[in-house]
Amino acid sequence: MQQLRRDPIIGRWIIVNYNQVNQPSDYQSESVEKKRVGKLCPFCSGNEDKTPPEIYVDRPVHARANEPRWNLRVIANKFPALRIEGDLERQGIGLYDQMNGVGAHEVIIETPYHEKDLADLSPDEVAKIILAYKHRCVDLRKDRRFEYIIIFKNHGASAGASLEHSHSQLIALPIVPKKTREALRGAELYYGYKERCVYCDIIRQELEEKERLVSETEHFVVFTPFASCSPFETWIIPKTHGSQFYHIREDLIGELAAVLQETLWRLKKVLTDPPFNFIINTAPIQHEQELDYYHWHIEIVPKLTRSAGFEWGTGFYINPSPPEQAAKWLREIK
Amino acid sequence: MQQLRRDPIIGRWIIVNYNQVNQPSDYQSESVEKKRVGKLCPFCSGNEDKTPPEIYVDRPVHARANEPRWNLRVIANKFPALRIEGDLERQGIGLYDQMNGVGAHEVIIETPYHEKDLADLSPDEVAKIILAYKHRCVDLRKDRRFEYIIIFKNHGASAGASLEHSHSQLIALPIVPKKTREALRGAELYYGYKERCVYCDIIRQELEEKERLVSETEHFVVFTPFASCSPFETWIIPKTHGSQFYHIREDLIGELAAVLQETLWRLKKVLTDPPFNFIINTAPIQHEQELDYYHWHIEIVPKLTRSAGFEWGTGFYINPSPPEQAAKWLREIK
């Protein structure tokens, strides 16, 4: 049996194929290669001179800047997708549009230890990373050229990581990206009709049905979305409505850190260290006020299947592991 | 220098990075593996009993069905993404939507010879493939459950091909896919404002500016789009307006075949046999009339870069080979 499922926010469809359900072991060939400790790595402690200077750092009071003894560093990306200098000039060329590539591209080095992954860190260490994300957003949004900040992580070469030392990235953009606009538009339509946040409704339904639930804490819910594009796609969403990630209350960061670390650990155990991306989906940064219809969340997308002409041409995705079964595997791992 | 460029139809942005321009040789590690001739292949001549029976075939008059001596075969996919049997039942589950996975999934075996790629075939042989596409569309659209037919090809394992014997695929879908709806909406908006087809305007601008032009024949234009997502993305588009691929005049199929074969040959030469997908973008099949605002075209997307968290999270793409340079390389190859 095949089933078509529609994403309730952006209207994308997926195909769940129950005839050829993939077990976690079917994805083992995709596991991330073991790290080659000892290779010269610019992100390791002691190699601070191999990177641009720190923009933000977590270190003991008496340690010196751009020297060892740090817990976490944020630096400018040496090979940025966009550059911080310059004005935003938008111009037309016939029917085309172009703009200067102005933006910020930063790297969050999550740990001084080469061999550790995010899933191996303590909740306290992960909390420092989330706090760094928040601080960098608060700082960068003062620059009025920027409309959106995307925070993401690539784990494993096939998920796009070019260095194996655990790090995440942040890009501030002069435009609200297409994917965010789609989600905002879909969520606003739903709100216009129901006068309720679609994400709040999803949380309610997932907590009631429980079959896609991975875990739950006082303030956060972890589940596999009904119309997951990727096998084992997993969302972490706050129970309390809020559209801006960087507005997260500081007293909840520890709880979110524990949930994120535990969820990544579950994925690592069930799927034997899969390559993955995670993305923090949040509202455009220049909105001063919270939006009633949008709800920030973390989307974790393991890279276990290859997208081909069909996916590229249609925007349909084929998911060979039903989200209900993925959630069960993730829930039951000890 | 980095530059942001906007797609004039769907409004997607790309980043062209002029600081680290990739040459064709930078992509050689992505080349498709050499074929292992001699391995048992269900698509080879003589192995007809290893596949479902023929739905469509090109063979000499006296040859027998499902036996050797064919030039091209169309068969049902043995592992279909969707199945032809069943009614379309759409139902809600709380705020979610699901539907039976009804559709058709066919494979076009392009040649009886295992070692030949589409780029190695003669224009006459390629014309038979395009004719098969057209015939299958005309036949499948009689089934009123289907709204859209996507025809695509995956070349190389990293572009999603699971068998190396040259083949393309066709999937008939009970809904118009998101990506097509986006293009239709964007093109309709443009038409509403300008009263001209955006694709016709693109053809005019490309023929005038010439810097992204790869080749031109009496009825077709080949160019690298201004906001190409992928390095060396290439479009083949008919000069005469038409929204339905399957309405193509039979006397133009030979010309299109020669253009497609030559374009794939250029890509194979310049990029040393890159993995690629191609997709025929066309209007929904149940429109009896031609649409004034939409224009069918073939999109060829080499798979040379890996999309990571940034691309997934935003819908932005980073293209390390400016389309103008890609067109120059493709134009100049002998």
Of the candidates A6, A15, A154, which has its C-beta nearest B309's C-beta? Answer: A154
Nearest CA-CA distance, residue B8 and chain A, Å: 6
Q: Whole-angstrom Cα distance, residue B188 to residue B198?
A: 9
pLDDT at position B334:
83
Would the CA dihedral through A43, A45, A48, A49 be positive or negative? negative
Closest residue of chain A to B93, computed from CA coordinates: A205
Cross-chain residue pair A174–B5, CB shorter than 8 Å: no
- The model's confidence at residue B165, banded by pLDDT at 50, 70 and 90, is very high
Average the pLDDT over each of A28-42, B90-104, B254-268 and give the range with the smallest value: A28-42
Q: Is B327 or B61 the better-scoring residue by pLDDT? A: B327
CB distance A173 to A82 below 8 Å:
yes
And the tokens for A126? 């992960």
| A310/B171 touch (CB, cutoff 8 Å), yes or no | yes
* Chain A residues with CB-CB distance to B274 below 8 A: none
Cβ separation B313–A5 shorter than 8 A: no
The residues of B carrying an active-site annotation are: 167
Q: How many helices (H) and strands (E) does chain A have?
A: 6, 15
In chain A, which residues have their Cβ closer than 8 Å to the Cβ of B81? 2, 15, 17, 310, 318
Is the predicted pLDDT of residue A39 greater than 80, yes or no?
no
Say which residues have a Cβ less than 8 Å from residue B52's Cβ, sequence separation at least 6.
B75, B76, B78
Is A88's pLDDT higher than 90? Answer: no
Averaged pLDDT, A79-103: 91
Q: Do B95 and A201 touch (CB under 8 A)?
A: yes
Task: Tell me if residue B133 falls in helix, strand or coil.
Answer: helix
Mean pLDDT score, B2-11: 94
Residue B54: strand, helix, or coil = strand
- A277·B12 Cβ contact <8 A: no
Nearest to B106 by CA among B143, B159, B60, B51: B51
Of B94, B96, B209, the CB nearest to A5: B96
Gap from B301 CA to chain A (nearest CA, Å): 9
Distance (Å) from the alpha carbon of B152 to chain A's nearest alpha carbon:
6
Residue contact A315–B154, C-beta within 8 A: no
**Six token digits for residue A115:** 């061999």
CA distance A316 to A3: 12
The predicted structure's pLDDT at residue A10: 94
pLDDT at B53: 96
The catalytically annotated residue of A167, A219, A241, A297 is A167
Tens digits of per-residue pLDDT, A232-254?
Answer: 999 999 999 999 999 999 999 99
Amino acid at A309: G
Residue of B nearest to A320 (CA): B81
Which residue carries 């972890």 as its tokens? A222
Please tell me the predicted confidence (pLDDT) of residue A38: 65
pLDDT band, very low/low/confident/very high, at A149 (cuts 50, 70, 90): very high
* A12 chain-B contacts, CB cut-off 8 A: 178
Half-sphere exposure of A317 (CA within 13 A, CB side): 21
In this prediction, what percent of chain A has a pLDDT beyond 70? 99
- Are residues A128 and A109 in contact, defined by beta-carbon separation less than 8 angstroms? no
CA angle A142, A56, A236 (to 5 degrees): 80
CA distance A81 to A104: 8
Question: For B278, which of A93, A154, A309 is closest by C-beta distance?
Answer: A309
- Test A95 with B198 for CB contact under 8 angstroms: yes
Cβ separation of B314 and A4 shorter than 8 Å?
Answer: no
The pairs formed by A184-191 with CB atoms below 8 angstroms and a separation of 24 or more are: A184/A283, A184/A284, A184/A291, A184/A293, A184/A294, A186/A8, A186/A9, A186/A10, A186/A11, A187/A9, A187/A293, A187/A294, A187/A295, A188/A293, A188/A294, A190/A8, A190/A9, A190/A293, A191/A292, A191/A293
Across the interface, which of B152, B175, B314 has its CB nearest the CB of A177? B314
Domains, in order of start, for chain B: 2-32+39-86+96-332 (3.30.428.10)
Strand (E) or helix (H) holding A194: helix A178-194
At residue B38, the pLDDT reads: 65
Could you report the predicted ipTM of this complex, rounded to two decimals? 0.92
